[in-house]
Every structure is written in structure tokens, then in C-alpha cells.
């Protein structure tokens, strides 16, 4: 669900370079201090005397600052300007951590303002949350937690200790929920529904693609007609999937067809709907072998494959939920990405069409009631 935006990809390389540059900078500073250069001695002594928690907080702020500056070329207008201000601010605060006394409170304000601004941007739809942005927020959240721990123990009277205990977890939980809400409220064009990512395709199908899509539908319908009786499917090697309260559709999979690629005679799965008079064959599902391996799409935008991402899968009950933007799942479940799949619905699927990722809800209700 959360990919790496094309205009953010360069920042990832910049992050790796920045880590190396930060490490090299310390080595060079130590070398210069060894040569008895005054300013280098003062700076290196300040660095060496700082506790590890300060060094880590400063390094994370410098990293965030560098990342923001690396993101500037992919943005424009007010966002680009804010990235410049933010990046420079983090670099100044990262250096100030070693040479000043005043840096802690401004750093907390800067970190909180940056995280809140990102959430506002994401919820407003001005920025799509992607892995680079989310990773940057994680770096800033950890830096915030570290800087907050650097506070000298002050008054121990209520409510100061409680505030110190809950402020950082509240900020982390709030940031996670904010990014999540923004991502779900403004899905990009390639997200059919939460968790399903569509194969990139052209906007309009050519006449040739329309014909190819019709042929695929006809060939699939003719091929799977022999499996109208679920017993025939089981006899042919299809194994019924688990019964789920969340999904009234049942997929019968045939592992023997795993190597077939969009072959109407060997679809990877058959889809049945649970009706009042038993299981009714409503379509087939073609599937590739590996995540990210998009299949051939003879119908162009009409036959877009999709893969499910950001799913928390629990093997205990074969159940699903959605993972958080920080890629966490409930204990006992794990994040999975399915290989790309293409459904072919042989029943009328309403306005969604015969190759949609999902069966139309109205059609589904009618089938269940029939």
C-alpha cells in the first residue's frame, strides 16, 4: 500500500550517502584535531564529551535535514520552500547539539512541528504518504524521543512526570493514525481498494485490446464451465480455500497450475459464491508466481492485474487485517504481499466489469440471497 514515490527515490540514495558522510566527517574532524587545529580541537572535544544519546539525536536530525534537502528537487511551491527551511533547521540544530546550550527546546519544537506538518499535508491530500516520507517520520519520532529524554529531571510534582511519560507515545500513536487516515482518505489511482494495488496501464483500451479482453473472457468462460459442480473441480485437483465470515467468496486453488501464465485451460483458482442453494461458480483467478511480477495484460487497462499489499495475515485462522503505515501487524500475524492476480468474472459484474479486482457488492448481495 505504501510504495516509494518516484520523486522520492533519490532521497533514499541520499540517506545512505549522508550516513557515510556523517561518519567520514567525524573521522576528518578527529584527524584535524590531531593536527592541533584550534577550531577542530574545540569541535571534536565537544563531540567527544557529549553523551551517546545526544550524538544519536543529533545524527538523526542531521539525517532528516539531509533527506529534506534531497527531496526539494521533486517538489515545488510552498512544499519545496518548507523542505528547504526544515532541512536547514535540522542541520543547524544537529550541529548546535554539540556547541550550544539552547538547542534542546528548539529541537523539540522543530521535530513536533515537522511531524505535525507532514500529517496535515497527508490528510489534506497535498502529499501522498510513501515509504520515504514515513521512514523520515520514524527517524524524527525517535530523535524526538531521545531529545525529550535529555531533559534534566525537574519538578517531580503532578502533572510533569505523567506528561513526560505519555507525551512521546501519544505523539507516535497520533502520527501513525494520522498517516494512516491520510493514506486511506486519498488513495492514488492505482489503488482499487485498501490493500489492492493495480498494474500500471494506459488509460484507454485500443480496439485490439478490447477484442483481446473479449476473447479472454469467452475462453475462460468456456474452459471453466466444466467446474460448475465443485466436486468436478476437486476431482481435477482444485482445493477449496478456507471458509471466512469476512468473505462469502471461496477460492479453489490448484497448485499444479502454478507455472501456467494466463492460460484459460489452467487457471490458478476458481471462484465460487456461497448462495442459498450451494456454491455457484462465478469466475476464475489467474495468478503469477512472485510479488511484483505483473502478468501479460492483453486487454490493456481492461485486464489490469492487481496484487494485495499491506495485509496482515494470520496463519492461525487464515484471517486478514491491514498493517499500519509503519509496517506493523498484530502479534501472531505477518505482513504479506500476494503475487499479482487477475479475476475473470463469468457472471454480470455490473459497472465494475468482468476483470475487476472485486466482485460488485450489489451482485455479491444478490448472489448470496439467491
Partner 1 sequence: MSITSPAARTNQAPSPSAPEIASVLVVTQASLSLVAGLSAIPFGIVEPGFRVLSLVTILIAIGMFWLARNLRRQRRWARRWVIAIEALSLATSLLLMLLPIGAIRGPVPVLVNLAMPAAVLGALLSRAGRRAFAPASMPDRKG
Positions in 177-236 near partner 1 (CB under 8 A):
177, 180
For residue 294, state whether it binds partner 1 (rule: CB under 8 A).
no
**Residue numbers 47-76 binding partner 1 by CB under 8 A:** 49-54, 56
Closest to partner 1 by CB, 146 vs 262, is 146
Q: What backbone torsions phi and psi does residue 231 show, to the nearest 5 degrees? A: -65, -35
**Residue numbers 302-321 binding partner 1 by CB under 8 A:** 309, 312-314, 316-317, 319-321
Q: From the list 328, 362, 368, 370, which residue makes contact with partner 1 (rule: CB under 8 A)?
A: 328
Q: Residue 146 to residues 54, 66, 111, 139, 346: CA-CA distances in angstroms?
A: 8, 19, 11, 11, 57
Q: Residue 55 to residues 15, 22, 30, 50, 146: CA-CA distances in angstroms?
A: 17, 11, 15, 7, 10
Taking the C-alpha atoms of residue 355 and residue 64, their distance in angstroms, rounded to an integer, is: 43
Q: From the list 239, 291, 296, 365, which residue makes contact with partner 1 (rule: CB under 8 A)?
A: 291
Taking the C-alpha atoms of residue 362 and residue 176, their distance in angstroms, rounded to an integer, is: 34
Q: Residue 124 to residues 78, 99, 127, 243: CA-CA distances in angstroms?
A: 14, 38, 8, 39
x/- string (CB under 8 A) for partner 1, residues 16-45?
Answer: -------------------------xx--x
For residue 176, state whether it binds partner 1 (rule: CB under 8 A).
yes
For residue 127, state whether it binds partner 1 (rule: CB under 8 A).
no
> Could you tell me the smallest distance in angstroms from the CB atom of residue 276 to partner 1?
20
> Could you tell me the smallest distance in angstroms from the CB atom of residue 89 to partner 1?
18
Q: Which residue has the cell 483458482?
A: 269
> Could you tell me the smallest distance in angstroms from the CB atom of residue 47 to partner 1?
8
Q: Answer yes or no: are the C-beta atoms of 331 and 322 closer than 8 Å.
A: no
For residue 245, state whether it binds partner 1 (rule: CB under 8 A).
yes
Q: Residue 260 to residues 109, 187, 206, 210, 295: CA-CA distances in angstroms?
A: 57, 32, 26, 23, 11
For residue 287, state whether it binds partner 1 (rule: CB under 8 A).
no
For residue 326, state whether it binds partner 1 (rule: CB under 8 A).
yes
> Could you tell me the smallest distance in angstroms from the CB atom of residue 241 to partner 1?
15
Q: How many CA atoms lie within 13 A of 230 on its CB side?
A: 17
> Could you tell me the smallest distance in angstroms from the CB atom of residue 37 to partner 1?
11
Strand order in the sheet with 306-308: 191-193, 196-198, 306-308, 341-345, 278-287, 269-275, 249-253, 239-240
- Nearest to 93, CA basis, from 71, 108, 113: 108
For residue 158, state whether it binds partner 1 (rule: CB under 8 A).
no
For residue 361, state whether it binds partner 1 (rule: CB under 8 A).
no
For residue 330, state whether it binds partner 1 (rule: CB under 8 A).
yes
Q: Could you tell me which stretch among 19-27, 239-247, 271-279, 354-362 binds partner 1 (CB under 8 A)? A: 239-247
Closest to partner 1 by CB, 280 vs 314, is 314
Taking the C-alpha atoms of residue 370 and residue 368, their distance in angstroms, rounded to an integer, is: 6
Q: Could you tell me which stretch among 84-92, 166-174, 195-203, 207-215 binds partner 1 (CB under 8 A)? A: 166-174
Amino acid at each position: 500500500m505504501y510504495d516509494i514515490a518516484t520523486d522520492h527515490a533519490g532521497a533514499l540514495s541520499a540517506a545512505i550517502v549522508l550516513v557515510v558522510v556523517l561518519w567520514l566527517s567525524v573521522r576528518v574532524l578527529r584527524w584535524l584535531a590531531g593536527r592541533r587545529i584550534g577550531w577542530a580541537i574545540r569541535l571534536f572535544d565537544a563531540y567527544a564529551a557529549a553523551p551517546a544519546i545526544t550524538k544519536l539525536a543529533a545524527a538523526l536530525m542531521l539525517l532528516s535535514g539531509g533527506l529534506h534537502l534531497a527531496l526539494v528537487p521533486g517538489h515545488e511551491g510552498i512544499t519545496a520552500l518548507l523542505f528547504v527551511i526544515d532541512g536547514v533547521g535540522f542541520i543547524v540544530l544537529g550541529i548546535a547539539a554539540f556547541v550550544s546550550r539552547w538547542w534542546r527546546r528548539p529541537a523539540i519544537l522543530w521535530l513536533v512541528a515537522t511531524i505535525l506538518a507532514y500529517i496535515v499535508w497527508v490528510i489534506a491530500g497535498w502529499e501522498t504518504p510513501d515509504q520515504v516520507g514515513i521512514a523520515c517520520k520514524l527517524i524524527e519520532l525517535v530523535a524526538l524521543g531521545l531529545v525529550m529524554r535529555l531533559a534534566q529531571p525537574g519538578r517531580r510534582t503532578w502533572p510533569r512526570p505523567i506528561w513526560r511519560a505519555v507525551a512521546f507515545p501519544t505523539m507516535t500513536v497520533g502520527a501513525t493514525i494520522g498517516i494512516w487516515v491520510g493514506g486511506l482518505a486519498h488513495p492514488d489511482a492505482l489503488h482499487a481498494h485498501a490493500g489492492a494495488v493495480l498494474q500500471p496501464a494506459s488509460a484507454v483500451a485500443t480496439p485490439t485490446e478490447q477484442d483481446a479482453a473479449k476473447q479472454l473472457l469467452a475462453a475462460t468462460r468456456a474452459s471453466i464451465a466444466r467446474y460448475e459442480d465443485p466436486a468436478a473441480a476437486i476431482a481435477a485437483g482444485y482445493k477449496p480455500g478456507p471458509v471466512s465470515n469476512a468473505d462469502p467468496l471461496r477460492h479453489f486453488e490448484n497448485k499444479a497450475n502454478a507455472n501456467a501464465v494466463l492460460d484459460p485451460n489452467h487457471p490458478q483458482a476458481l471462484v465460487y459464491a456461497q448462495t442459498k442453494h450451494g456454491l455457484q461458480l462465478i469466475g476464475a483467478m489467474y495468478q503469477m508466481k512472485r510479488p511484483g511480477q505483473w502478468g501479460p495484460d492483453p486487454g490493456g487497462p481492461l485486464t489490469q492485474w492487481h496484487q494485495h499489499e499491506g495485509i496482515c495475515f494470520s496463519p492461525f485462522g487464515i484471517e486478514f487485517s491491514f498493517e499500519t503505515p509503519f509496517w506493523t501487524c498484530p502479534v501472531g500475524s505477518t505482513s504479506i504481499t500476494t503475487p499479482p492476480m487477475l479475476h475473470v468474472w463469468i457472471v454480470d459484474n455490473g459497472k465494475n466489469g468482468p476483470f475487476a479486482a472485486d466482485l460488485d457488492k450489489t451482485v455479491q448481495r444478490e448472489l448470496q440471497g439467491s
